[in-house]
Amino acid sequence: MTATLPPAAPVPTARWLLEPQVGLCACAPSGRRRKGTYVTRTIDAAAGVVRAALFAEDAAAQPGLLQRLDARVKLVTLLGLLVAVSLVQQIPVLVVAYAATLVLAVLSKLPLGAFVRRVWLAIPLFTGIVVLPATLNLITKGHVVVPLGSWFGHRVGMTAPGLTGAARIVLRVATSVSVAVLLTTTTRWTRLLAALRALLVPRMFVLVLGVAYRYLFHLLGSVTDMYEARRARTVGAEDGRSGRAFVAASAGALFGKSHQLAEEVHQAMVARGYVGDARTLSAFRLRALDVAWIAVAVVAAGALVGLDRGL
Amino acid sequence: MPSEPLLEVHDLHYAYLGRFPALAGVSLTVEAGEKLALLGANGCGKSTLLKVLDGLLFPDAGTYRAFGAEITETGLEDEQRNRGFRSRIGFIFQNSDAQVFSPTVREEVAFGPLTMGLDAAEVEARVHDTLAMLNIAPLAERAPYQLSGGEKKRVAIASVLAMNPEVLLFDEPTAALDPRTQGWLIELIVELNAAGKTIVLATHDLDTLPLLADRAVVFGEDHRLAATGPPDELLADHDLLLITNLALRRR
Amino acid sequence: MHIPDGYLSPATCAGLGAGMVPAWWAAGRRVRRVVTSRSVPLLALGSAFCFVVMMFNVPVPNGTTAHAAGGVLVAILLGPWAAVIAVSTALLIQALFFGDGGVLAYGANCFNLALVMPMVGYGTYRLAAGRSALTSRRRAVAAGVGGYVGINAGALCVAIELGLQPTLFHDAQGAPLYAPFHLSQTIPAVLGAHLLVAGVVELALTVGVLGYLQRANQPVLRLNPAHARLRHRPAAVDAEPEPASGQGARGGAAGPVRPGRGGGTGWRWALIGLAVMVLLTPLGLLAPGTAFGESSPRQLDLAAYHLDAVPHGLQRYAGFWHGALFDGYGFAGARHPTVAYLVSALVGTLVIGGVVLGLSALVGPRQRRRHGDAAGHPDDAADVDLRAAAGRVQDSGHPGGAPDVDLRAAADRVENSAHDAPAEAPDRDAAAAVPA
């Protein structure tokens, strides 16, 4: 508050501030490094979100098959395919469905390696680990095909239904995530927003979604700044208590910042005539390719379910 | 009413949270076609006055008349009057990040014209022209988080110009901009003024003042106007600048 | 706690999604009625905040870190209905824009995280906070308890949804079609992890943030209509101008009085229901535990030990991880399945009953006519209060020591709209918040 300070009265700068200072401690590597503190992990998570957004932005700019489709058509058809995948029970059919997502990724000029990594590292691999115990006869009853020994007098082993169930869920999760990633990475998210609007999602909700997404990156930047500053100033190990206090304070400060921004954004909207209902430009054109794709998707979904029931 | 000024405030009082005064009896007129600068140190009431002029804050006491009608909170609840007022006066905020809230640059620029009720074709045309005029057509599909500070400022200005307002309010227009963008913005403001737009801007940047304004008012720390006059005269009055915290005491 | 696609049957997803539609509708209506033109930026920034808070790693005592969920925090800050929309929006961004799965399961995730968690947590918070002053310690602790109960209620729903899958959906050979674990396994596993770790993290974060805002930024606490009329300090009459008076006058002009039935009994019932639920929540862990005949300390040790092994980036799914490990040690197929199912069903019914009662209670008081009792029924006249509070609150973020100093600084900041270098200021804030 410069305004209330007396104008003149020069204050001498503190001496210590003007003198160079050697480190407060011997800063040689002590060999004890705490890998991946909460600070680093939060920064990494924030960077991960931005990276994912940029990956999607690049992928959406490629001249691939899915990129050329109308966003509404893509959203609805991929949702339909997701439902079909969730209805399929036979493992071979799930394998076919998963292979189809890979074909779509190639046709959409996505880097196949990155696509597969993105999908599998997200959830399916993890799912595989989680459902492994469910293959045991302790959880899923049935004929033991892989005996593992005995435990407290009970024979323990993997059962046929257990293995089937595990394979099924892993494949289903992988295929579902692949479809979701296909949608995400081949569609500019502004088109996705427009598609949601066209699909009768209430306008207010879509407006909230758009503004939220826009400021998400702004807040991520603030968090990264706060945590970088924290990391730069944390000397030595930090106890959990002060760490938690920092997290709470940064979340609190972030909320304050969010609210301040909300106020300013509100003024900016009102200044341009906003009174609680917004119109948007949306130009959608259905082309031959879209119509053809709808046909393909309907046939594919039908074939998946039909094949599944027929087998 | 031929003699009435474009904007006129009389004896404005405003306090934040009812406790922290920002305006304490400010009276001011803005004539059509002029470039008026509000000068003052941080916290003296410039931004508050701009927000009152833009109908975003309403004074605790005092009156505000714009375009021949009194502006009040209840008055602006009328949709027709709100639309008329908002389309005639535009505000470029200091914080472009808050002003640019839409998913893409195109939607940002279209927001104002759309809320004004223009039809889609006309909005498209205006967006196209405005983007071209400010040299940001290639950014049309970009998201705001991918823009630099200078680019965001251009988008913010475009989003206001697309509504073609008569009066443009700028809050600290050149703050936090690189010198090149600053230069561009000063030129733009001068051009817009030459094209007939009335300009009111808040600043504490004395260097650019003579370029940006043909009249200036100086805010004191008491949240009142301390002086008014041509920029050259005010800049020459070193005592005035000292007591208003706009200049440092020289040895 | 997010359920990815593939774990739940389409029928479960559809059912829970359909269940969310009226909740969204009611939330949209209520929020829009409260703050017409302000609602969009407020909800949008609330959603963005929620999304970012879900990425916060919180250090937990055994040296590792865990994620917070933040749903109850958002409910306390913005009000429960706004939280429904804000959390749903954050989840939609995660599902649709970042392809984190959960597109078909979106409705289920919203039910658990955007409806049950904030509503139950918020109800508990209101119950525990009573009429205490806005800045009281009790209120901050109540927020933490709300966070703890809320996340566990959400986790219980997750466990029930997952645990029902193998019973309801399996093929002729008995192989599960979707998630393979039974209720008797999912409830102790998921709930155990949440009672011991995630709940504690949620508690720590919620208490911490409330405490921080009480010290540093009281105006934003008044964004929640229920907070708007609370006093700042237990016995403060002098320092702060009584906010209710001015608003009351405006409220008389602008806030239409809605006729309605008496909501008092509903509120009381909701409190009782919630209290019962709070008491019963730990039973979710204990009851199936007895069905296994295994000592529970063993489970706890496991949890503590294996938490360290959670791969980076997957802590979010800690619940499932624990599920796998617990079950891997053979807390085997329900020897007393009837007991387990009965208890599970009871607990599930209680959760849903609590939610319904909580919802009706939160709607109830609003529909009563306003009368003079200022502190007793804070939901009254919420519209005007929120509008006024939001209008008057001018900043945030950069706290000084005493609230007055902060307000002054806030007003000044609004005036000059200076934006401090974010790298420096918040850290200073944080440092100030660390207890010496």
Q: What is the pLDDT of residues C256-288, one digit of tens each?
A: 333 333 334 445 555 555 555 544 444 443 333
The alpha-helical segments, DSSP class H, found in C261-317 are 264-280, 283-292, 296-307
The pLDDT assigned to B247 comes to 79
Q: Are A251 and C53 in contact (CB under 8 A)?
A: yes
First-residue to last-residue Cα distance in chain A: 77
Please give the Cα distance from B209 to C102 (Å, whole number): 56
The pLDDT assigned to C151 comes to 93
Q: What is the DSSP string of chain B?
A: -TTS-SEEEEEEEEEETTTEEEEEEEEEEE-TT-EEEEE--TTSSHHHHHHHHTTSS--SEEEEEETTEE--HHHHTSHHHHHHHHHHEEEE-S-HHHH--SSSHHHHHHHHHHHTT--HHHHHHHHHHHHHHTT-GGGTT--GGGS-HHHHHHHHHHHHHTT--SEEEEESTTTT--HHHHHHHHHHHHHHHHTT-EEEEEE--SSSHHHH-SEEEEE-TTSSEEEEE-HHHHHH-HHHHHHTTSSPPP-
The pLDDT assigned to C148 comes to 94
Q: Nearest-CA neighbor of C319 among C416, C124, C187?
A: C187
Q: Which chains touch A (3 or more CB pairs under 8 A)?
A: B, C
Please give the Cα distance from B203 to A188 (Å, whole number): 39
Give the minimum alpha-carbon distance from A15 to chain B in angstroms, rounded to a whole number: 23
Give the minimum alpha-carbon distance from C259 to chain B in angstroms, rounded to a whole number: 25
Please give the Cα distance from B76 to B55 (Å, whole number): 8
Please give the Cα distance from C92 to C325 (Å, whole number): 30
Q: Which chains touch C (3 or more CB pairs under 8 A)?
A: A, B
Q: Are C178 and C7 in contact (CB under 8 A)?
A: yes
Give the minimum alpha-carbon distance from A9 to chain B in angstroms, rounded to a whole number: 11
Q: Are B68 and B232 in contact (CB under 8 A)?
A: no
The helix (H) or strand (E) run that includes residue C66 is strand C65-67
Tell me the pLDDT tens digit for each residue of C7-58: 899 999 999 999 999 999 999 888 877 655 678 888 899 999 998 888 887 8
The pLDDT assigned to A25 comes to 43
The pLDDT assigned to A119 comes to 86
Residue C358 is encoded by which pair of tokens?
Answer: 């909580």
The pLDDT assigned to B139 comes to 92
Give the C-alpha distances (Å, rounded to integers) separating A193 from A165, C92, C165.
36, 11, 33
Which residues does chain A have within 8 Å of residue C11's beta carbon, measured at their own beta carbons? none
Q: Are A71 and A206 in contact (CB under 8 A)?
A: no
- Residue % of chain A over a pLDDT of 90: 22
Give the minimum alpha-carbon distance from B54 to chain A in angstroms, rounded to a whole number: 7
Which residues does chain A have within 8 Å of residue B120's beta carbon, measured at their own beta carbons? 281
Q: Does A35 fall in a domain? A: no
The rounded radius of gyration (Å) of the Cα atoms in chain C is: 22
pLDDT-derived band at A51, boundaries 50, 70, 90: confident
Q: Does A32 fall in a domain? A: no
pLDDT-derived band at C150, boundaries 50, 70, 90: very high
- Kindly tell me if the per-residue pLDDT of A65 is higher than 60: yes
Give the C-alpha distances (Å, rounded to integers) separating B113 from A194, B78, B119, B164, C6.
18, 18, 9, 9, 45
CB contact under 8 A, B20 and C241: no
Higher pLDDT, C324 or C76: C76
pLDDT-derived band at B38, boundaries 50, 70, 90: very high
Which residues does chain C have within 8 Å of residue B176's beta carbon, measured at their own beta carbons? 419
Q: Are A102 and A112 in contact (CB under 8 A)?
A: yes
The pLDDT assigned to C68 comes to 81
Which residues does chain C have within 8 Å of residue A218's beta carbon, measured at their own beta carbons? 48
Mean pLDDT of chain A: 82
State which amino acid sits at residue C33: R
Which residues does chain A have within 8 Å of residue B50's beta carbon, measured at their own beta carbons? none
Please give the Cα distance from B174 to C139 (Å, whole number): 45
The mean pLDDT of C314-326, rounded to a whole number, is 34
Give the minimum alpha-carbon distance from B212 to chain C in angstroms, rounded to a whole number: 19
Residue B194 is encoded by which pair of tokens?
Answer: 């030459």
Please give the Cα distance from A228 to A222 (Å, whole number): 10
pLDDT-derived band at C62, boundaries 50, 70, 90: low
- Kindly tell me if the per-residue pLDDT of B36 is higher than 50: yes
Q: Are A155 and A102 in contact (CB under 8 A)?
A: no
- Kindly tell me if the per-residue pLDDT of C397 is higher than 60: no
Please name the residue of chain A whose CA is at the shortest distance from the CA of residue B104: A190
Q: Does A42 fall in a domain? A: no
Does residue A86 sit in helix, strand or coil? Answer: helix
Tell me the pLDDT tens digit for each residue of A73-122: 999 999 999 999 999 989 999 999 999 999 999 999 998 998 898 888 87
Among C10, C53, C60, select the one facing A86 at the smallest CB separation.
C10
Q: Are B215 and B184 in contact (CB under 8 A)?
A: no
Q: Are A242 and C434 in contact (CB under 8 A)?
A: yes
Q: Is the dihedral of CA B101, B102, B106, B111 positive or negative?
A: negative
Give the C-alpha distances (Å, rounded to integers) separating A304 from A78, A82, A200, C150.
14, 11, 28, 40
Task: Please check whether residue A230 touches C, CB under 8 A.
Answer: yes
The alpha-helical segments, DSSP class H, found in C79-136 are 80-92, 106-109, 117-129
The helix (H) or strand (E) run that includes residue C170 is none
- Kindly tell me if the per-residue pLDDT of B215 is higher than 60: yes
CB contact under 8 A, C104 and A82: yes
How does DSSP classify residue C3?
P
Higher pLDDT, B127 or C1: B127
The set of residues, in sequence order, having a beta carbon less than 8 Å from that of B222 and lying 6+ positions away, is: B24
Please give the Cα distance from C361 to C31 (Å, whole number): 17
pLDDT-derived band at C291, boundaries 50, 70, 90: very low
Residue B218, φ and ψ in degrees, nearest 5: -110, 130
The mean pLDDT of C122-130, rounded to a whole number, is 92
Residue C307 is encoded by which pair of tokens?
Answer: 């938490």
Task: Please check whether residue A224 touches C, CB under 8 A.
Answer: no
Least confident of B135-149, C45-59, C87-101, C420-434: C420-434
The mean pLDDT of A57-64, rounded to a whole number, is 84
CB contact under 8 A, C220 and A86: no
The pLDDT assigned to C295 comes to 29
Task: Please check whether residue A10 touches B, CB under 8 A.
Answer: no
Which residues does chain C have within 8 Å of residue B95's beta carbon, measured at their own beta carbons? 417, 419
- Residue % of chain C over a pLDDT of 70: 50
Cα dihedral A176→A181→A186→A191 (10° resolution): 90
pLDDT-derived band at C83, boundaries 50, 70, 90: very high
Rank A12-16, C118-122, C197-201 by mean pLDDT and report only the highest.
Answer: C118-122
Q: CA-based angle B151:B157:B160, to the nearest 5? A: 145
Tell me the pLDDT tens digit for each residue of C157-211: 999 999 999 888 988 888 888 988 888 888 888 888 888 888 888 998 999 999 9
Which residues does chain A have within 8 Å of residue B103's beta carbon, measured at their own beta carbons? 189-190, 193, 210, 213-214
Please name the residue of chain C whose CA is at the shortest distance from the CA of residue B39: C416
Test the A interface: residue of B107, B172, B239 with most A CBs within 10 Å: B107
CB contact under 8 A, A139 and C182: yes
Please give the Cα distance from C229 to A71 (Å, whole number): 46
CB contact under 8 A, B47 and C41: no
Chain B interface, Cβ < 8 Å to C = 16-20, 22, 42-48, 93-95, 101, 171-172, 176
CB contact under 8 A, A140 and C57: no
Interface of A with C in 127-186 (CB under 8 A): 127, 129-134, 136, 138-142, 151-152, 154, 156, 160-162, 164-166, 168-169, 172-173, 175-177, 179-181, 183-185
Range of the domain at A78: 58-227+252-270+284-310
Test the C interface: residue of A49, A247, A274 with most C CBs within 10 Å: A247
Please give the Cα distance from A22 to B142 (Å, whole number): 47
Q: Are C319 and C194 in contact (CB under 8 A)?
A: yes
- Kindly tell me if the per-residue pLDDT of C338 is higher than 50: no
Which residues does chain C have within 8 Å of residue A173's beta carbon, measured at their own beta carbons? 4-7, 101
Which residues does chain B have within 8 Å of residue C417's beta carbon, measured at their own beta carbons? 47, 93-95, 171-172
Interface of A with B in 218-257 (CB under 8 A): 218, 221
Tell me the pLDDT tens digit for each residue of B39-81: 988 888 899 999 999 999 999 999 999 998 999 988 888 888 8
Test the C interface: residue of A196, A242, A259 with most C CBs within 10 Å: A259
| Spacing of C-alpha B171 from chain mean position | 5
pLDDT-derived band at A129, boundaries 50, 70, 90: confident
- Kindly tell me if the per-residue pLDDT of B195 is higher than 70: yes
The second-level CATH assignment, the architecture, of C10-223+265-363 is Orthogonal Bundle (1.10)
Which residues does chain C have within 8 Å of residue A240's beta carbon, measured at their own beta carbons? 59-61, 63
- Kindly tell me if the per-residue pLDDT of B197 is higher than 90: yes
The pLDDT assigned to C115 comes to 94
- Which residue's structure tokens are 């190639």? A106
Q: CA-based angle B6:B10:B13, to the nearest 5? A: 130
Half-sphere exposure of A301 (CA within 13 A, CB side): 17
Which residues does chain A have within 8 Å of residue C316's beta carbon, measured at their own beta carbons? none
Sequence ranges of the domains in chain C: 10-223+265-363, 375-433
Among A3, A211, A271, select the one facing B54 at the smallest CB separation.
A271
Please give the Cα distance from C278 to C270 (Å, whole number): 12
- Kindly tell me if the per-residue pLDDT of C361 is higher than 80: no
How does DSSP classify residue C226?
T
Residue A151, φ and ψ in degrees, nearest 5: -145, 115
Residue A156 exposed, middle or buried by CB count within 10 Å (0-12, 13-18, 19+): middle
The pLDDT assigned to B162 comes to 94
**What is the greatest pairwise CA distance in chain C?**
75
Q: Does A16 fall in a domain? A: no
- Kindly tell me if the per-residue pLDDT of C255 is higher than 90: no
Please name the residue of chain B whose CA is at the shortest distance from the CA of residue C392: B17
Give the C-alpha distances (Å, rounded to integers) separating B47 from A282, B61, B213, C422.
35, 17, 17, 22
Q: Does A28 fall in a domain? A: no
SS (H, E, C) A172-195: HHHHHHHHHHHHHHHCCHHHHHHH
CB contact under 8 A, C49 and A138: no
Residue C408 is encoded by which pair of tokens?
Answer: 């002054």
Higher pLDDT, B133 or A1: B133
Number of domains in chain A: 1
Helix axes C318-328, C296-307, angle to 10 degrees: 130
Please give the Cα distance from A247 to A229 (Å, whole number): 13
Which residues does chain A have within 8 Å of residue B107's beta carbon, measured at their own beta carbons? 190, 210, 280-281
Give the minimum alpha-carbon distance from C50 to chain A in angstroms, rounded to a whole number: 9
Among C205, C431, C432, select the one facing A251 at the smallest CB separation.
C205
Among B16, B42, B93, select the one facing C418 at the smallest CB separation.
B42
CB contact under 8 A, B93 and C394: no
Please give the Cα distance from C76 to C82 (Å, whole number): 10
**What is the greatest pairwise CA distance in chain B?**
62
- Kindly tell me if the per-residue pLDDT of B108 is higher than 70: yes
Least confident of A213-217, C76-80, C92-96, C252-256: C252-256
pLDDT-derived band at C126, boundaries 50, 70, 90: very high
Which residues does chain C have within 8 Å of residue B22's beta carbon, measured at their own beta carbons? 411, 415
Q: Which chains touch B (3 or more CB pairs under 8 A)?
A: A, C
The pLDDT assigned to C264 comes to 41
Tell me the pLDDT tens digit for each residue of A245-296: 888 888 999 999 998 888 899 899 889 988 766 677 766 778 889 999 999 9
Q: Are C122 and C146 in contact (CB under 8 A)?
A: yes
Tell me the pLDDT tens digit for each residue of A134-144: 888 878 888 88
Q: Is the dihedral of CA C221, C226, C232, C233 positive or negative?
A: negative
